[in-house]
Structure 1
Amino acid sequence: MKKRSLQLADTLFARLFGVFLLAIVVAHLLAFVWFEHYHHRDFPPPPPHEQAGFDPREPHGPPPEFGPPPHHPPLLGGPFLFQLLALVGAAWFGARLLARPVQRLGDAARQLSDDLDSPPIPETGPQEAKQAAQAFNRMRERIREQVQQRSRMLVAVSHDLRTPLSRLKLRVEEIDNPQLRTRISQDLSEMIGMLDSTLHYLHQERASEPRQWLDVMALVESLAEDACEHGAKVRVEGQCAPLKVQSMALRSCLSNLLDNALRYAGDVEFVLRDGGGRVEIRVQDHGPGIPAEMREQVFEPFFRLEGSRNRNSGGVGLGLAIARDAARRHGGELHFEETPGGGATAVLSLPRT
Structure 2
Amino acid sequence: MRLRLDSLFGRLFGVLLLAIVLAHLLAFAWFFHYDQPPPPGPPGMDQQGDGPPRFGPPSNRRPRPWFGGPVVPLTFQFVCLIIAAWYGAKLLTRPIQRLSDAAERLSENLDSPPLEENGPREARQAAHTFNLMQQRIREQVQQRSRMLGAVSHDLRTPLSRLKLRLEQIDDVKLQGQMRQDLDDMIGMLDATLTYLHEQRTSEALQWMDVQALAESLSENAQDQGSDVQVSGTCAPLQVQPMALRSCLNNLIDNALRYAGHALITLQDQKHLLLIRVIDHGPGIAADKREAVFEPFFRLEGSRNRNSGGVGLGMTIAREATERLGGQLSLEETPGGGLTAVISLPRP
Tell me what 1:63 maps to: none
Answer yes or no: is the 8 Å Cα contact 1:304–1:314 preserved in 2. no
Please point out which of 226, 232, 240 is paired with 2:234.
240
* Structure 2 Cα separation of the partners of residues 230 and 333 of structure 1: 29
* Structure 2 Cα separation of the partners of residues 297 and 145 of structure 1: 30
Structure 2: state its 5+ residue gaps.
Answer: 1-14, 36-40, 53-58
1:93 and 1:115, CA in 2 relative to 1: closer, same or farther beyond 3 A? same
Bigger mean CA offset, 159-168 vs 145-154: 145-154
Answer yes or no: is the 8 Å Cα contact 1:305–1:314 preserved in 2. no
TM (normalized to structure 2)? 0.76
SS of the residue aligned with 1:169?
A: helix
2:237 aligned with 1:269, yes or no? no
SS of the residue aligned with 2:168?
A: coil
2:305 aligned with 1:322, yes or no? no
Answer yes or no: is the 8 Å Cα contact 2:298–2:304 preserved in 1. no
Amino acid of the residue matched to residue 50 of structure 1?
D
Answer yes or no: is the 8 Å Cα contact 1:306–1:314 preserved in 2. no
1:310 and 1:338, CA in 2 relative to 1: closer, same or farther beyond 3 A? closer
* Structure 1 Cα separation of the partners of residues 301 and 135 of structure 2: 40
* Structure 1 Cα separation of the partners of residues 85 and 317 of structure 2: 47
2:106 aligned with 1:106, yes or no? no
Task: Give 1:139 deviation, angstroms.
Answer: 2.2
* Structure 2 Cα separation of the partners of residues 139 and 49 of structure 1: 83
1:103 and 1:48, CA in 2 relative to 1: closer, same or farther beyond 3 A? same
1:283 and 1:126, CA in 2 relative to 1: closer, same or farther beyond 3 A? same
Bigger mean CA offset, 79-88 vs 158-167: 79-88
Aligned residues: 313
Task: Give 1:163 deviation, angstroms.
Answer: 0.5
Tell me what 1:200 maps to: 194
Bigger mean CA offset, 331-340 vs 101-110: 331-340
Task: Give 1:48 deviation, angstroms.
Answer: 6.7
Tell me what 1:8 maps to: none
Please point out which of 171, 182, 186 is paired with 2:180.
186
2:154 aligned with 1:154, yes or no? no
Tell me what 1:60 maps to: none
Amino acid of the residue matched to residue 266 of structure 1?
G
Tell me what 2:165 maps to: 171
Task: Give 1:276 deviation, angstroms.
Answer: 4.4
Please point out which of 334, 337, 340 is paired with 1:343.
337
Tell me what 2:218 maps to: 224
Answer yes or no: is the 8 Å Cα contact 1:253–1:323 preserved in 2. yes
* Structure 2 Cα separation of the partners of residues 308 and 179 of structure 1: 22
SS of the residue aligned with 1:283?
A: strand
* Structure 2 Cα separation of the partners of residues 307 and 120 of structure 1: 49
2:30 aligned with 1:49, yes or no? no
CA deviations on 1:17-38 (whole Å, 9 max, x unpaired) are: xxx9xxx9xxx9xx99xx9xxx
| Match runs of 1:130-141 below 5 Å | 130-141=124-135
Amino acid of the residue matched to residue 174 of structure 1?
Q
* Structure 1 Cα separation of the partners of residues 82 and 280 of structure 2: 61
| Match runs of 1:70-89 below 5 Å | 70-73=64-67, 88-89=82-83
Tell me what 1:61 maps to: none
Amino acid of the residue matched to residue 215 of structure 1?
D
Please point out which of 266, 269, 279 is paired with 2:273.
279
Tell me what 2:56 maps to: none
Task: Give 1:148 deviation, angstroms.
Answer: 2.3
Task: Give 1:103 deviation, angstroms.
Answer: 0.6
Amino acid of the residue matched to residue 274 of structure 1?
D
1:300 and 1:310, CA in 2 relative to 1: closer, same or farther beyond 3 A? closer
Amino acid of the residue matched to residue 333 of structure 2?
T
Q: Percent identity?
A: 62
Tell me what 2:244 maps to: 250
Amino acid of the residue matched to residue 287 of structure 1?
G
Answer yes or no: is the 8 Å Cα contact 2:232–2:265 preserved in 1. yes
Answer yes or no: is the 8 Å Cα contact 1:268–1:283 preserved in 2. yes
Answer yes or no: is the 8 Å Cα contact 2:258–2:303 preserved in 1. no
* Structure 2 Cα separation of the partners of residues 309 and 84 of structure 1: 70
Tell me what 2:327 maps to: 333
1:275 and 1:81, CA in 2 relative to 1: closer, same or farther beyond 3 A? farther
Tell me what 1:6 maps to: none
SS of the residue aligned with 1:103?
A: helix
* Structure 2 Cα separation of the partners of residues 322 and 276 of structure 1: 27
SS of the residue aligned with 1:50?
A: coil
